[in-house]
A and B are shown apart, each in its own frame.
Chain A
Amino acid sequence: MIRRRKRGLVPSTRKQASRPKLPKIVNHRDPMVSIIIPAMNERARLPSVLREASKVHPRSETIVIANGSTDGTAEIAAAVGARVIRFAEPLGHDVGRRVGAEAARGQALLFMDADMVISAAELRPFVRAVLSGVDVALNGYSGSVGRQIAHPVVLAKYSLNAWLSRPDLHGASMTAVPHALSRQALEVIGSKLLEIPPLAHTVAAVRGLNIQIAKTVAVGGINPVRRRVGRSDPLASLVVGDHLDAVHWLIQEQGQRGGYSDLNRLRGKVR
């Protein structure tokens, strides 16, 4: 009891020494690359994430969309030197990305999450791809595919790419980070659609944008495990629903069969 109280009163020098020094970000006045990071209560990982972001490209700006945070996320981001956009309410990753994209000024937009630290070396290929002509540079990782059955989200990603006649993309999707967009892609897709990533992905494919896998970063292992509601995983349900929204758009855009022929079925013969 006594010891614990003592520790609370006397400032511990050890603790201060072990805290990492905050990185320093200088946002370029005329950025080529905008790094967009939605963050909600990510005080612990944000400094490391920002440190890697700062090393991605010499002419870059880093935008942190601090939303629904009560742990000083916004203050840390500001102290590091990032452009901070604050929201009291939680937005979710995808809405955060839309907000960030609207504020971005660069030619390449790199999207990452604040909850996992990915090294600058692994982030650079996405930016490099976009700066050399790719419109949508995706992460090749989509989850575990070694067994007969994959997670519903993985299945949804593979299926959507199949229907978009892009089986070569396997399970790569704008649902996953990191990914990067060219300014042209942003204009074609429209920032609003970034809120439903599979829909944005579908629009990009149908509108003929150049979509490529830039690198495979195995984010599955480093993505923190989240709270679930009961037995179901609301995020999985949301993401699969997003894919269905994308299919619905495809149907409206390309017709009942998503643009596929039925090899001249004589449907009228059946009455």
Chain B
Amino acid sequence: MRMGRMRATGKGKARRVNIAKRNRRKGYIARRKKVFHDANATRAEARSSGTDWLERLALQGGRKAAAGKSESERSCEHMQQCFNSWYMAHAAGTRRGYSPILRISTAFAHGYAAGDNLLRHYIPLPLRRTTAAVVVASNERRTLNAVLAQLMRLPFGEIVVVLNGCSDGSFTAMEHDPRLIKLNYPERLGHDVGRALGAAVTIKDTVLFVDGDMALPAEDLGAFLVAVEQGSDVALNDITPFLPSFAKQDSVTYSKMFLNMSLGRTDLLANSLTAVPHALSRRAIDALGHASLIIPPKAHALALVRGLTVTAPYSVNVVKNNRIRSTNTGSANSVAGLILGDHIEALAEVMKIYGPRLKFTRMTRSKLAKVRNGR
């Protein structure tokens, strides 16, 4: 026993040294990646662990739910229904983080699928609310199908695909899935307009927003649905682990941080509705109005001002995989200008409510001088 433990320590040390060496070779990208993994792991650890027994129970629960059902009776929807009622009966009552929920869900799916590949990769989630996804795509044929394939793995009631300005026939496969709602605009709608249009056609309780140009694993996307289920109105992607030091950040990041800071939410750092993926509750969409989503920072600011619960529950690295275009690279790119303008517009909106200085001091300079330098 003792020997074993010592050996493990030795191994761990060797591993750490190796990682350190690799990091040094690769520069700071490798280090950032490590931080990213740590971030979600720390989050998982902070919440209750020791779900092994529940996972075993879930596996059995899954088997039981599928037992006696014919091939045609077993479906993703059925699995989701069974999981929901199983979770209510066996696992509800304890507030769990996303990570243990995902482990329980995976175990249930394994039990239910019994070897069926499609069912095995489905992720049932404990959701009492109805859910929808909004995907905006414009000439993203290469990635759109992959994006949809990931979304199909989650218990969405609707998947709204907003196509705009597509000349490449972005919409090919998947056309027969009953969950899909297709909106097709021949002209380019412009940035973020598609999100607002997508939000307008769905009446589901929780709406997840993703882009058609980047397929993110369903395991990651589920976190935002669970966050809204657990009380968030606005669940943002936490990009903090990917932020460099302040000196190396860009204008867009400063703008996002400033908006959060000026509205008293320094803790949100640069997390913003500008970034995907994020999820909104029905309460948020109704309070903000879907039209406000056209300018994401404006909706973000209004969400903070109107007292909605804004959180950043999970980190997905969208920086790494983002498609490189001529318009989004370089320090003076046009998309950066658009986002800066969005933030100014957001500030203009909140200034209408609180006045130019928002909630910052109106103490006169004379009074301040007296406080600071008086004898």
Contact = CB atoms under 8 A, between A and B. Distances in A.
A82 to B, nearest CB: 19
Interface stretch (B51-59, B94-102, B149-157, B257-265): B257-265
Nearest to B258: A159
Contacts of B116: none
Nearest to A167: B251
14 contacts: A95-B365, A146-B245, A147-B245, A147-B246, A158-B254, A162-B251, A167-B250, A241-B358, A251-B348, A257-B341, A263-B191, A265-B190, A269-B197, A270-B290
Given A258-B340, A263-B334, A240 B360 contact: yes
Nearest to B334: A263
B269 interface: yes
Interface in A72-121: 89-95
A165 B370 CA distance: 36
Interface residues of B, number: 64
A238 B246 contact: no
B30 interface: no
Interface string A241-258: 100110110110000111
Nearest to B293: A270
A256 B366 contact: no
Contact of B193 (A40, A235, A244, A265): A265
B190 A264 contact: yes
A270 B360 contact: no
Given A163-B255, A244-B360, A269-B189, A92 B351 contact: no
B319 interface: no
B250 to A, nearest CB: 8
A70 B375 contact: yes
Given A148-B269, A159-B255, A245-B357, A265 B344 contact: no
Contacts of B340: 162-163, 258, 260
B246 A250 contact: no
Contacts of A259: 341
A131 interface: no
Contacts of A167: 250-251, 331
Interface of A: 40-41, 67-68, 70-71, 89-95, 145-150, 152, 154-156, 158-159, 162-163, 165, 167, 170, 195, 226-227, 229, 234-235, 237-238, 240-241, 244-245, 247-248, 250-251, 256-267, 269-271
B368 interface: yes
B371 A229 contact: yes
B347 A251 contact: yes
B134 interface: no
Given A41-B375, A71-B375, A145 B245 contact: yes
Contacts of B197: 269-270
A245 B372 contact: no
A152 B264 CA distance: 11
Given A146-B246, A269-B185, A234 B371 contact: yes
